[in-house]
Each structure stands twice: as C-alpha cells, then as structure tokens.
C-alpha cells in the first residue's frame, strides 16, 4: 500500500499487475524469485522489490509534496523492524505460534512513542505529511484493524486522529481501487490515479498490441506487481 501512495502522489505512471498471492504468476516470480510484493520492473529490466525502495524511486522522479524532505530513518527502521515483528505476531498468532497479548503490548509501546511525537505538529516530521507518515501509516492501520474497539479505547488521541485523517484522505481513497488478478493477455492497467478517479484501462488498440507482444504505448512504463488482497 505504501508504494501505491508514493506512486500516486508522484504521478509517475506504471502498468499495474494485481496478483493473488496464492497463485503468483510466473512472470512475477521470474522477476523476483523471493515471491513477495510489491515488485517493480523497470523498462531496462531493473527490479525493485521492496516497498520502501519503490517509494524512493517514485519520489526521486517527482516529489510534488516534498515527502523526501520529511522523513525519519530511525522511525522507519523501527517500524519495519520491531513494530512489524510485533504486528505480525499479534495479527497472526497461529502462524507464528506467538502470544498475541504480549506482542500487542509491545506494539502499543511503540505507538505511544508515535503519539507523543505527533502531539507537537500533527504529522511525524512537521505539520505536513511526508515519507515517514506514509511509510508507517499502513502498518499502524493493520495494527488498529486487528481489534478496532480495543485500539479506539487506548489513550492515543494524536495517533488515532492522524490515522483517521490519512485513512480518510482523497489520496488513500484513490489508491484503494480493487482489481481482478492479472493474467497473460489482459488489457494493461495504467496506475496513475488522481483523487476520486480510478486508474485507467488501456484503450482497445493498445490492448491488442499488448496481447500481440508489442508495447502497450509508444514508451512503455514500469510494470508493478502488487497484492490482490490489499484492503
């Protein structure tokens, strides 16, 4: 999700290939054998298969809101390391053989630190959203969704407002369009959303060229594989 947010705000177009993780297509696995999403394949064959790296790639090309100026490496590292560790074991205790309450408590301690940081300016690196906010928000959203009533009862007013504002934003809504899983020969889906507008499917002439092995446009853009179940 965070890769989509950066791609959307940057306006950099990509060809979207939604995948069902239980039926990963061969082209995706050929591009990135580790089999995780997202996977971004550039026209020169370069593969970017970490969501944070996709964010940096898109924002380096175009960063209209200056997200790259509002980042915090330590916060993102803690999120992608310790917080995700506890999130996975709180959300999927059967899969990990974990004690969910213990991991919920450890995750809550990290969220309390974020709440204190948000109290000062409203966003993690100042008054406006930036890379740090967008890199962390999807994970906080997952944590909150495990038990929404419990999350709402916690004394995290600044974090709860921050999460609600981002989850209710036009940008978030624009990237949450659902797609059918991609198959060879499908019409290309150009992912360049604007708030309130769904990504476009290529017109028939372009779709025909794509099915025949020709580029879907005169200058084909990157191809991005992403999870089918992203809500």
Which tens digits make up the pLDDT trace of 22-64?
899 999 999 999 999 999 999 999 999 999 999 999 999 999 9
Same domain? 130 vs 201: no
Same domain? 114 vs 161: yes
* Residue 207: both structure tokens together: 């779709």
pTM for this entry: 0.84
Same domain? 60 vs 109: no
* 185 vs 97: which has the higher pLDDT: 97
Q: Are 31 and 41 in contact (CB under 8 A)?
A: yes
Same domain? 137 vs 219: no
Give the domain CATH number at 35.
3.40.30
Same domain? 73 vs 27: no
Same domain? 21 vs 53: yes
Give the domain CATH number at 156.
1.20.1050.10
| Count of structural domains, the chain | 2
Beta strands in 29-136 (DSSP E): 39-41, 47-48
Whole-angstrom distance, CA of residue 182 vs CA of residue 90: 31
Give the residue from 226, 231, 221 showing the smallest Cα distance to 10. 221
Same domain? 31 vs 109: no
Same domain? 61 vs 124: no
Same domain? 169 vs 85: yes
Same domain? 91 vs 23: no
* Residue 131: both structure tokens together: 């890379």
**Tens-place pLDDT, residues 154-181:** 999 999 999 999 999 999 999 998 888 9
Q: Which domain holds residue 168?
A: 68-173
Same domain? 98 vs 131: yes
């Amino acid at each position: 999700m965070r890769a989509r947010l950066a791609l959307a705000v940057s306006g950099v177009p990509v060809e979207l290939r939604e995948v069902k993780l239980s039926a990963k297509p061969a082209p995706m696995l050929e591009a990135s054998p580790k089999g995780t999403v997202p996977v971004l394949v550039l026209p020169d064959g370069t593969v970017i298969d970490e969501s944070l790296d996709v964010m940096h790639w898109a924002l380096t090309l175009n960063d209209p809101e200056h997200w790259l100026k509002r980042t915090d490496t330590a916060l993102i590292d803690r999120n992608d390391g310790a917080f995700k560790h506890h999130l996975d074991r709180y959300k999927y205790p059967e899969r990990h053989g974990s004690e969910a309450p213990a991991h919920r408590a450890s995750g809550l301690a990290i969220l309390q630190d974020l709440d204190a940081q948000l109290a000062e300016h409203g966003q993690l690196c100042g008054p406006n959203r930036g890379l740090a906010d967008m890199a962390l928000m999807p994970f906080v959203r997952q944590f909150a969704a495990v038990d929404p009533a419990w999350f709402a009862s916690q004394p995290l007013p600044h974090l709860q407002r921050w999460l609600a504002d981002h989850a209710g934003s036009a940008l978030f809504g624009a990237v949450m369009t659902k797609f059918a899983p991609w198959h060879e020969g499908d019409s290309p889906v150009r992912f360049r959303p604007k708030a309130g507008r769904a990504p476009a499917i290529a017109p028939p002439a372009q779709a025909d060229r794509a099915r025949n092995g020709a580029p879907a446009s005169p200058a084909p853009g990157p191809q991005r594989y992403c999870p089918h179940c992203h809500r």
